[in-house]
Amino acid sequence: GGGDGTGAAVITKTKPVTKRPKLYRVLLLNDDYTPMEFVIEVLERFFNKDRDGATHIMLHVHHNGVGECGIYTYEVAETKVTQVMDFARKHQHPLQCVMEEK
């Protein structure tokens, strides 16, 4: 039984183990120089926000100093941060994007 070759009754109990990945918040930080329109484009391009959603987050960051762009697994969050930082550098804006464990 149970594939042990003896014909004996073997009970195999398996505990289902579901692994929940850690999640990370991706944040934009305010600064005095990055144009509002550029931040809106970043949110549309890299975080799939529509115009209204992107504008709302941008204004939140502008007024509060920091704001959430999205919540992702580690690799995705890391990719978003790199994409935003590369895009900002390419356009010579000081925009900062960071991630933190949720």
Binding region for ligand TYC (CB under 6 A): 28-32, 34-36, 39, 58, 61-62, 95
Nearer to ligand TYC, 1 or 94 (CB): 94
Distance of closest approach, residue 20 Cβ to ligand TYC, in angstroms:
30
Instruction: Compute the distance between CA of residue 27 and CA of residue 81 in angstroms, rounded to an integer.
Output: 9
Distance of closest approach, residue 58 Cβ to ligand TYC, in angstroms:
5
Nearer to ligand TYC, 21 or 35 (CB): 35
What is the CA 2 to chain-centroid distance, rounded? 44
Distance of closest approach, residue 55 Cβ to ligand TYC, in angstroms:
10
- Which one-letter amino acid corresponds to residue 100? E
DSSP state at residue 3 = T
Instruction: Compute the distance between CA of residue 58 and CA of residue 53 in angstroms, rounded to an integer.
Output: 9
